[in-house]
Structures are given as C-alpha cells and as structure tokens.
Chain A
Amino acid sequence: MTSNGKPLLEVDGLVMRYQTKRGQVSAIEDVTFTLHHGESLGLVGESGCGKTSVAMSLMGLAADNARYMSGEIRLEGENLLALNEDEMRRRRWKSISMVFQGAMNSWNPVYRVGDQIREAMDLHIQPKLSEAAAKSRMARLFEMVGLNPSMLVRFPHEFSGGMRQRAVIAMALSCDPKLIIADEPTTALDVIVQDQILKELKKIQDQLGMALIYISHDIAVIAEVTDTIGVMYAGKLVEYGSTLEVFHRPRHPYAYLLLSSTPSITGPRRKLAPLEGEPPNLLDPPPGCRFHPRCPFVTDQCRTEDPPFVDIAPGHKVACWNWQQVPVTIGASA
C-alpha cells in the first residue's frame, strides 16, 4: 500500500440527485473520500444507500436523470465531472474500469469473449496493439484470472457463472487501469467459487498495484478484501476508516448495528441485534441525521441537525453526534 504521494482519486463533497416525476431522489449526499494508488476501499451498505450510484458516477455512467448539484470527482487531479462524454469515454476502461454484478449481462451473447476483450483494447490502447501482441496479452490476462486461454474463442454461454465473472475481470484488466471498481462481483456466485474469485482479485491487485473499490452489501466479504472501508447509509458516507479499526471499533451506530446483526459461522453463537425499521425514502429524507428514526442512541439534536463528517482518530471519520455512546464491543445489546 503506497499512501504517500498524490492521491489517485478524490471524491470531494459529491452531491447527486435523480430527477424523477415525483421529485428529486437524494442518492448521494455530500460524499467525500480519497483513494491512493494500490489501495483498496470497500463500500458497504444496503440496497438504495447510494453505493452503486457512487460507482456509476466515477465511471461517468450514471443514469440520464442524474444531476450533480455540487462536488468534484478528481482522478489524478482532473475533475471528471467537467469532462464531456467523448473525453470521459477515453478515460473509461483505460483509467477506471468496472466489474459489474451480473456477469452474463456484461457480455454480448453473439460475439466470442476474446473478440469482445479485443474490442475494448483496440478502442483504448494507443498505439493499437498488433495482432500477435493483442493475442498474447489476452492469453496472459486469462491465465492471470485462472482461465485457460483456449476459452478466448468461446461464446459467453459456454462459460459457467464463475468463469464468466473471471472473464469480466480479465476484460476490466485489459487496458491496465489504475482503478478497478468491482460492484458486487460475487453476489450471484456460490461460496466456493466466490472464494476463488476473491483470492484471484486480491492477488492481481497486489501484483499490478492498482487501486480497488469493492462494493458489496456483504460486510464479511468486505472484511476480507479491503484495507479501508466506507459505510454508506441513505446516500451518505457515515463512517470511514481502516477495515480493522471499523470492524473492531465501529463508532457510527449504523455500522455498529450492521456488524452486530451479521450472522457468522465463527465465534460463540450469539443473539443478533436487529435493526428496527427500514431505510428512509430518499424522495423525502428525514431531517437531521438520516439514520435518526432507526437509531437507538438518538437525541433531540439528531432530529434537527445533520451531524458533520469529522475525524475522531487519524484516518477514522464518523458522521454522528453521539459516537462516543456507541458500545465498544460488538454484540452487546444496544
């Protein structure tokens, strides 16, 4: 992990809303984080918390009704939000690439997998690689993700779910990106296959020294893959810090409850603490802290004032007025 030098990615006060007939959906609300070369960041949260919206914004692929109200996304100092579609297209895959959740949908069923990877390389690698160079590069990529290079001439339907996801990772690596965003890449897979893909991904990230943003609702997967973790709730980043620190001493009530309500196969069998209620409707988010209707530590201040995202320790940030009230041990009843 090289955290010295200039950051690779800075997301700074990003606010994004989806314009809908029923009003504005506040999907990303003042999200700020920094990622250095070679670092891995896990974004965790429930469906609708904005984690995929953040990923799509980084890729410049947010839906047409997305409106950026304020903030910047800087990749090596350059604000991606100020680029036009053409300039963004040139950076996509080459600077930032993405592994999507549904591996089948990432492929065009009527083209050979190798030809589709080749297309991405031809579009983004300048000068264009020769036939032989492209072939050997693709073979190397396939080997790297644990696939036999002879599979390159096959069609997507001839791959199993796990193999398809490996091929998607190979494609994401094809243009030597500095940052890979993996959005729930193993959610549809069985645990044994998931384990292999996670190991492969970590190994490749170490070898190539790229940065990784890993998005998942599964906090256990995040624990295994990333150095840093960001916990999102209702469009806001509520806690950010080293994975070890956040897992062992979560300071935001939501992070704490999320960890307390995750069943595990290790450790003593314990009663899990349920999180009451459901996430808010982002068409009309609650005033003050967005978590306050479900928070066991709620005070009057939480109902009216939105807590700032502040450092509570070096590299550990929390957006909560009462973070000092959160128990230190996981599993204690709240």
Chain B
Amino acid sequence: MTMPLLKVDSLTKLFPVQRGLFRKPIEFVHAVDGISFEIGSGQSLGLVGESGCGKSTTGRMLTRLMDATSGQILLADNGNPVDVAHITRDGMRTFRRRVQMIFQDPYESMNPRRTIFDTVAEPLTVQGIGTVTEREEKVADLLRLVGLSPPETFLFRYPHELSGGQRQRIAIARALVINPSFVVADEPTSMLDVSIRISIMDLMLKLGDEFDVSYLYITHDLAVARYMCDRIAVMYLGKIVELAESEELLSNPLHPYTKALLSAVPVPDPSFKRAPVEIKGGIGKAINPPPLCRFIERCPIATDVCHNNDHPPLEDKGGGHYVACYLV
C-alpha cells in the first residue's frame, strides 16, 4: 500500500490544569484524545464539531504550531513518510514549504505594518526562493489568481485598506504562493458575510484543484463542510466519533451525536421540518474524563454496554464509513 499524503495515528494533546500552591498540574484537559485519520493527495477532509471539541487544536498540531503530547503525524515526501513530530530545524523549512495554514480572522492574521506584497512574498523570502523580480512576478500571479486584479493596485497597500473578503483572499494567496501540498484552513469563511463566503469557498476549491492541494477544513458548519470536502470527520470532546464520505455522512448518519448535530442545523427552507434534536445541554470540558464513551452523558440511547466498556473504537461499518459507537 502506498503512503497517503498525511497519516495521523493516535494523536493526543493534553493541556495541564494547574491548581494549588505550587501550580502543579494535577489534571489534564484531553483536548485531542487519540485520533487517527488519513488524507490522500488532492483530497479534502472536513473536521466538524462544536466549540471546544478539539478541532482547532488538531489543526495546530498538524502544522506544528503546537506539539502533540503523543501520537504520530506522518507526511509523505516523495512517497517516504516524514515524522512531523521529529523534524529537525533544517527539516522545518522544508516542512513549512509543504504545509501552510489559513486562519479564521483575516483582521488578526496579518501584520498591519507590512504591505500586501511583503505579506504574500514572506514565505518566498523565508524560503529564499527566487530573485526579487521573480518574487514580484509570482506574487502578482497569485493576486490575479485569487481575484485581486490588477495586482499593481494591491501590491503596495496595507491590510487595513482592504475588506475582510479581500484580506482572506490575501491569506489564501500567502498560503499557496510556495505550492504547498497540504493546507489547514481553520474556519476561513466564518467571519465573512454570506455573499462573500461562497466566492472564497469557490476560490479555495478551484485553487485546490489547480495546485493539487489537500485541505483539512476545520468548521463548525456542516453545510460548509459538505460544500468544501470529500469526507467529513465529526469530533466530540477530543474524539472522532464518525468519519465518512460527505454525502454518506449527511444522508446516513450513524452516531447519535452526528444525528443530533444534523437535526439541529437550521435549513434555509421554511417548509422543511427538522427532526427533533434528541440531546440537551452544551458541551462540557474533558478534564480527566472517565474511560467511558465521551458522549455517554448526553447520549439518548446509551445502554449497559456503554457503561461497562471503554470509549468505543472507530470502526469501519462498510464502505469507509467509520463510527465509534457500540450500538451501531
């Protein structure tokens, strides 16, 4: 079997909760707790869940903005797996050339004192790619590609002169300027207005195809994940509870949490009647959680099996539809 572009195995991140006189960490928030998945070349995976489920933490670990507590992230480099956790300082430069990130807030993710040219050319400068003229050409090309043309009118402006949608286009240009093979996009459109959102999403899809980029698309919005991604993984308190092809997940949800999440999404059609949502309350925090199924407290169908066993493993129920539930 060939190596997929990205292979994540039992990835875990624990945050210490410091209490007491000597600030000794006695408890841990299990932000991400042993998740495994793969993303093939040119594929996109949507990571969906409520706030606090660990989806952004996962994204930050994949881009090495944060180190994992345990587990393995393997990134294929010409078919050879590279262990992301043990990349050396030199290797980091190559890694950054291959993995980029697009952040949620286009107002916070750019240096206000650098021009658009400096912002977009930064990865090229850091990587030492090309001469100044070549960089200028490359940046101008990218700006044209992301729909900011003529590029000359944008190159020497500052972020504050641009709208939110234009800034997010710059963020996309910056992420793609060094031809990465994998991009983590953390809620890139959630701060944008509806009328601008679709054009940014379409742009990411188009450029993803053109540059053969794989995306990990982090969002709380299932409708957006459906539009953007080949497959969707649903997270709940640090665990992936279900993972399947997007249409399969939406039309045939198996995990009780996925079912609840789907029936809670408002539908833009006043004559559509949603199924009642079976679960109540909000999401908690997984501070030293018991080894039981994470969803057990809110689960409408939990039985003795769930109360007497560990968190269920994520198993293929046929055709690549993975679910972590004993009762499916």
Binding site for B on A (CB under 8 A): 46-47, 160-162, 190-196, 198, 217-221, 223-224, 243-244, 247-248, 257-259, 261-267, 269, 272-276, 278-279
Q: Which of chain B's residues has its CB closest to A42's CB? A: B270
Q: Mark B165-200, 1 if CB is under 8 A from A, else 0.
A: 110000000000000000000000000011111110
Query: What is the minimal beta-carbon distance from B268 to any residue of chain A, in angstroms?
Result: 4
Which residue from B195, B267, B282, B283 sits with its C-beta under 8 Å from A46? B195
**Contact status of A276 and B261, CB under 8 A, knowing A190-B50, A190-B220, A269-B226:** no
A248–B272 Cα gap in the complex (Å)?
A: 12
Q: Would you call B262 an interface residue if the criterion is a C-beta within 8 Å of the partner chain's C-beta atoms?
A: yes
Residues on A with beta carbons closer than 8 Å to the beta carbon of B165? 278
Q: Would you call B277 an interface residue if the criterion is a C-beta within 8 Å of the partner chain's C-beta atoms?
A: yes
**Contact status of A258 and B194, CB under 8 A, knowing A191-B265, A247-B269, A272-B227:** yes
**Contact status of A244 and B270, CB under 8 A, knowing A191-B220, A272-B227:** yes
A-B residue pairs in contact (CB < 8 Å), sample of 29: A47-B193, A190-B220, A190-B283, A192-B50, A194-B264, A195-B266, A198-B266, A217-B193, A223-B268, A223-B272, A224-B267, A243-B270, A244-B270, A244-B271, A247-B268, A261-B198, A262-B268, A263-B224, A264-B223, A264-B267, A265-B223, A266-B267, A266-B272, A269-B226, A274-B202, A275-B198, A278-B165, A279-B193, A279-B195
Query: A274 to B199, Cβ gap below 8 A?
Result: yes
Q: Which of chain A's residues has its CB closest to B268's CB? A: A220
Query: B265 to A259, Cβ gap below 8 A?
Result: no
Query: What is the minimal beta-carbon distance from A303 to any residue of chain B, in angstroms?
Result: 20
Q: Which of chain A's residues has its CB closest to B273's CB? A: A224
Q: Which of chain B's residues has its CB closest to A191's CB? A: B264
**Contact status of A265 and B262, CB under 8 A, knowing A192-B277, A220-B268, A278-B165:** yes
Query: A261 to B195, Cβ gap below 8 A?
Result: yes
**Contact status of A223 and B282, CB under 8 A, knowing A274-B199, A275-B198:** no
Query: What is the minimal beta-carbon distance from A329 to any residue of chain B, in angstroms?
Result: 13
Residues on B with beta carbons closer than 8 Å to the beta carbon of A221? 266
Residues on B with beta carbons closer than 8 Å to the beta carbon of A196? 277, 280
Query: B269 to A275, Cβ gap below 8 A?
Result: no
A274–B50 Cα gap in the complex (Å)?
A: 27
Q: Would you call B77 an interface residue if the criterion is a C-beta within 8 Å of the partner chain's C-beta atoms?
A: no
Query: A265 to B226, Cβ gap below 8 A?
Result: yes
**Contact status of A262 and B194, CB under 8 A, knowing A190-B282, A218-B266:** yes
Binding site for A on B (CB under 8 A): 50-51, 163, 165-166, 193-199, 201-202, 220-224, 226-227, 246-247, 250, 260-272, 277, 279-283
Query: B247 to A269, Cβ gap below 8 A?
Result: yes
A162–B224 Cα gap in the complex (Å)?
A: 23
**Contact status of A263 and B267, CB under 8 A, knowing A191-B220, A196-B280, A257-B195:** no
Q: A193-B282, A223-B268 are in contact. List 14 more A-B contacts (CB 8 A).
A: A161-B282, A162-B282, A190-B51, A191-B261, A194-B266, A219-B268, A221-B266, A248-B271, A258-B195, A261-B197, A262-B268, A264-B267, A266-B269, A274-B202
Query: B195 to A275, Cβ gap below 8 A?
Result: yes
Q: Which of chain A's residues has its CB closest to B277's CB? A: A195
Residues on B with beta carbons closer than 8 Å to the beta carbon of A47? 193
Which residue from A162, A223, A263, A279 sits with its C-beta under 8 Å from B223? A263
Query: What is the minimal beta-carbon distance from A164 to any residue of chain B, in angstroms?
Result: 11
Residues on A with beta carbons closer than 8 Å to the beta carbon of B277? 192, 195-196
A259–B271 Cα gap in the complex (Å)?
A: 14
A46–B164 Cα gap in the complex (Å)?
A: 13
Query: What is the minimal beta-carbon distance from A275 to any residue of chain B, in angstroms?
Result: 4
**Contact status of A259 and B196, CB under 8 A, knowing A162-B282, A190-B50:** no
Q: Which of chain A's residues has its CB closest to B246's CB? A: A269
Residues on B with beta carbons closer than 8 Å to the beta carbon of A219? 194, 268
Query: What is the minimal beta-carbon distance from A161 to any residue of chain B, in angstroms?
Result: 7
Query: A223 to B280, Cβ gap below 8 A?
Result: no
Residues on A with beta carbons closer than 8 Å to the beta carbon of B201? 272
Residues on B with beta carbons closer than 8 Å to the beta carbon of A269? 226-227, 246-247
A243–B269 Cα gap in the complex (Å)?
A: 9
**Contact status of A192 and B260, CB under 8 A, knowing A224-B270, A244-B271:** yes
Q: Which of chain A's residues has its CB closest to B202's CB? A: A274
Q: Which of chain B's residues has its CB closest to A259's CB? A: B268
Residues on A with beta carbons closer than 8 Å to the beta carbon of B195? 46, 257-258, 261, 274-275, 279
Q: Which of chain A's residues has its CB closest to B51's CB? A: A190
Query: What is the minimal beta-carbon distance from B222 to any residue of chain A, in angstroms?
Result: 5
Query: B193 to A223, Cβ gap below 8 A?
Result: no
Query: What is the minimal beta-carbon distance from B300 to any residue of chain A, in angstroms?
Result: 12
B194, B199, B224, B267 — most chain A CB neighbours (10 Å):
B194
A212–B235 Cα gap in the complex (Å)?
A: 35
**Contact status of A264 and B194, CB under 8 A, knowing A192-B264, A192-B279, A193-B282:** no
Query: What is the minimal beta-carbon distance from B259 to any residue of chain A, in angstroms?
Result: 11
Query: What is the minimal beta-carbon distance from A41 to any residue of chain B, in angstroms?
Result: 14
Query: A278 to B163, Cβ gap below 8 A?
Result: yes
Which residue from A162, A191, A247, A276 sits with its C-beta under 8 Å from B270? A247
Query: A265 to B282, Cβ gap below 8 A?
Result: no
Which residue from B163, B196, B266 sits with its C-beta under 8 Å from A220? B266
Query: What is the minimal beta-carbon distance from B211 to any residue of chain A, in angstroms?
Result: 20
Residues on A with beta carbons closer than 8 Å to the beta carbon of B221? 263
A161–B282 Cα gap in the complex (Å)?
A: 9
Query: What is the minimal beta-carbon distance from A331 to any residue of chain B, in angstroms?
Result: 11
Query: What is the minimal beta-carbon distance from A323 to any residue of chain B, in angstroms?
Result: 19
A223–B271 Cα gap in the complex (Å)?
A: 8
Residues on A with beta carbons closer than 8 Å to the beta carbon of B269? 223, 247, 264, 266-267
Q: Which of chain B's residues has its CB closest to A263's CB? A: B223
Residues on B with beta carbons closer than 8 Å to the beta carbon of A258? 194-195
Query: B193 to A46, Cβ gap below 8 A?
Result: yes
Q: Which of chain A's residues has its CB closest to B228's CB? A: A263
A68–B301 Cα gap in the complex (Å)?
A: 57
Q: Which of chain A's residues has its CB closest to B250's CB? A: A265
A198, A264, A267 — most chain B CB neighbours (10 Å):
A264
Residues on B with beta carbons closer than 8 Å to the beta carbon of A46? 193-195
